[in-house]
Structure 1
Amino acid sequence: MNVTRTLGRWSAAAALPVALLATTVANDGSIAAAAPAPKEAAFVLNATTGSFITGKTALAAGGVHTVKSYTGQATDSQILAAGSQHVIADVTLAHSPNQAERAAWAASSKFVDLSWPDLGAKTYTVIRDGKVIATTSGHSLRDTAITPGSEPSYQISGDAKGLGHTWGLNVTVPTGDTSTALAQTAQKVEAKAKKYTKTVVTWRSFIRQSWVTVPSYISKVAGCKYGSAYKYKGDGRGFSKAVSGTSFRAGVRGVVYWTKSSYDLFPETGWTKVYNKKGKLIDKRKASTKKIDFRTMTRFDGKTRAVHGQIEATDPFCPKSGIRRAGIGVFYDARLARNGDFYVSGKARPAPDHEMYLFGYTSGNKHSAKTVYQHKMSTKKFSGLECLFARACEPSTISNNGGY
C-alpha cells in the first residue's frame, strides 16, 4: 500500500508504558574497548562542496583531481589522483543535497580512505565489519588493514547537537591500482547496486524478558488499569535480523523501491497480554498504530532517497494523555542509497530494547541485511524504569549504542 502521513516529530515529553518494564538488562559493551589511533587520510571529502581535497598527509602539492567520472543509473563514482597515487571513489552520498548526509570512500588496493561531515561530535567511532577499528575527533581516516578485491562494510557514528548520527559505507577494494583495474571496480560497484530492486527499513521495539511485572511504587502513580498484582507477557528474545515473524511491542517497516517512485508503509504493534499471578490470561489489547509513520521525503531518482520514520505507541492499558501518559517514542531521518550506503540521525527513548535494520532485496526473498542500530535497556537509574516518566529521562541518540 502507498501511504503518506504528516506527523510532527515525537515529543521528548512522551513517557514509556508501564507494560514495558520489569527486570532490565545492562547496555551492550561490545564497542567499549579501546580502539587504535587512526591513520590520516589523503583523499578527504569536503562535505561543503561534495568534492575531494587532499588531507594533512598530502601526496602532492597540487592536491586531488578527478581523472574520470562515472555517472551510473544506480551509483556515482570517480577515479581520483593525487601525485602518482590513483584511487576509485564512490560519491553517491557525497552528492546529497543535505550536507549532514555527505560521506564517501576512496580506495586503492592498499588502503581505504573514509570521509564524513564534521557535525561537532567530540569523537566518532569507526566500525569495520562489526569491529571497532578507531575512534577519532576528526572527520576522516585511512584503513590499511584491507585485502585487495574485498568488500568491507563500515559504520561511522557520533553524537552531536542532541542527535545521533550514523553513516554506513560499503566499499569495493580494487584488485590493483592501474587505470584498467580502477575502471573495472567502478563497473563492479555500479553492477552490484543495480541488482537491488528495493530496500526495506525495519524498526522494532521489544521487551527482552519473557515476563515483566510492575513495581508497586510505579503502579500507584501510573494510572494504568493493571498494576503490581499482575504480570505482562514479554517478547522473550534478543536482537534478531529476521525480516518478519519476531515478537515486538511496536514497530514500523518501510519499503523504498529503486525501479519506481512508490513506497510502502507497514505500521505494527504486538499484543499486550496481562496475566494474574497464577498465570491466567486476564486481558489483551493492541496499541494504536495511528502515530506510527514512514514516508519518503525526496523525489525518486533510482540512486538515493531520503525517508522519515516515527513511532508513538501508547500502552493500551494506560492513560492516552496527560502527565501520566505512557508510550514508546522513536524518530529518525535517513538517506538511503541503492548500493547499501546510508545516513541515519534521530532519537529513541532508552527503553525498552530497540533494533533497526536495512534489508536490500535483489529478487524475491533474496536480500542482504545490515544492522543500523541495536540498543539494550539499561539497569542504570534514569535509563531503565524511570524512563516511564518524561521528567526523569531524556531520549537517547541513535548512534553507536552497542549491538554492532
Structure 2
Amino acid sequence: MMIRILVGGLAFALCVASALAEASAAGARSLPMQFDLRQEGPADICGEKCRSWISAIGTITSETPDDFADFSREHDLRGATLVLDSGGGSVHGAMALGRHIRRFDMTTTVGRTIALPAGPASSERRAKLSPHADCESMCVFVLLSGTTRIVPAGARLLVHQIWLGDRRDDAVAATYSAEDLVLVQRDIGRLAQYTAEMGASVDFLELSLRIPPWEPMRALNRDEIRRMQVEAGPQLIPPSVAAGVTAAAAGGTAASSPTVIGGTRRGHDASARGWIVDRRSGQRVIVRSHPLTIEGVELGSFEITLACGETAGSVQVDYSERRLAANASAIPVRTVTLSVGAQSEPLQVTRSEPLPRSFEVSSRARGSVPASFIGYFSEAGNRALLVSTVSANDARTTIRVGNSGIGPAFARLQESCGSRPLHATNVRTGQAGVR
C-alpha cells in the first residue's frame, strides 16, 4: 500500500513538474529572446555523448542582435548549434541577428529546450531537446542564417506577410498612408536581399508574402523546405554566399508584395471599415464585410450581420458570401463555423448555389449564438473572430476578423434588444458561469 502511495505521489509530482515546465516554456516565448548555453541530460544516460547547444527562446526585438553580440563575447560560438523556439518579431531585428549568427558558421535548427531538475549529487541544471517546436514568422528568416540548417520532422515552420505591427490585429479595417506603403516595400526589398545573402531560394520569400494577416500562418511542407533551401548543409550554400557576400538578387522579387494594404477589392466596400451599426428591415443590426482569400488569392467576399436573437441573451448571426469558382456546381459550401477563444458556434447553411450566368457561388448561413460569445469578442484587446468554411470538394477557408468598432456597436445592439447580464458559457474556458 505504502509503495503504491509513493509511486502515485511520484507520478503526480512528475506530471506537475512537466506541466510547470510547459507553462514556463510558453511564457518564455512571449518574452524578449534569451540565449542560454545548454547541455543535454540526464548525464547518466547520455554520458560522454551528451550534446551542447544554445537555446534561443522568445520574441525577436530590436535589442536582440545586441543581446546576441554580448552573449557571443562570453562564449565561443564558432560551429555551435543554435536551437530556435520563437513566434517571430521585429523584421529589422531578425535580419541583424541573422547576420551576426552567419559570422560564427553555426548550425541552426528548431526545437524546444526542456529544463531538467538538478541531480541529487549535483547542482548542474541540464536539459533535453524536443523536436516538437514552432519557428514562426521572422524566426524562419533567422533560421536561414545557419551555414547548416536542420528542420526536424516534428518541427513546424510558419510564415506570413510582413505587416505594420500596430495594424495587424484588424488589417482590413485599418487605414494606411503612402508613407506606410513606402516602409513596407522598402522592407520587402531588404528581406529579398537578406534571403539571397543566406543562400535560400527567393521562392521562399514569395511564398511568405502570399499569406495576408487575416489568414492563418502557412506551414511549409517537407518538399518546400528542401526545394527552397530553407534546410541546407554547407555543400548546398555557394561559398560566396556562405561568406556573407550579397548576391544582388533583390531586383528579382519585384512581383513580391503584400496582397493588399488599404486598397479596394471587388465586392468589398473599403469605405465601411470595421464593424458598423446599420438598419435593415427597420431593425438595428451590426454589419462587417471582409475579403475571402486562400493564401492571399481573392476568392470573393463575405458579410456577417448580427441582430437581436429570438430569445433573451442570444444574438442572431447571418453569413452571406460570394466566391469565384471555375466549376461552381462542384463546390457548394457545406459548413460555416464561427470561433472566439475556446468556443465554436456552427451556423446552418441555408443556401449555396451557382448564380445564373456567372462564375460565382452565392452562399448563406445563419444561426443563434450566446450574447456572451459576441460580448467576449467585443472586449478591448487583441480579440479575433475566426470564420471557417468547408466546401464539398474539401476546400477550406479560415479568415481572422478583428474587432475594430464592435465594442460600441454591440453596446448599441444590446440596448435595442433589451439585453441583460446572463448565465452563459465562458468563452475563455468553455465552462458555465455568470458574465
Q: TM-score range by the shorter chain?
A: under 0.3
Instruction: Identify the structure with the greater strand proportion.
Output: 1
TM-score w.r.t. the length of structure 1 is 0.26
Instruction: Identify the structure with the greater helix proportion.
Output: 2
State the structure with more CA Rg.
2
TM-score w.r.t. the length of structure 2 is 0.25
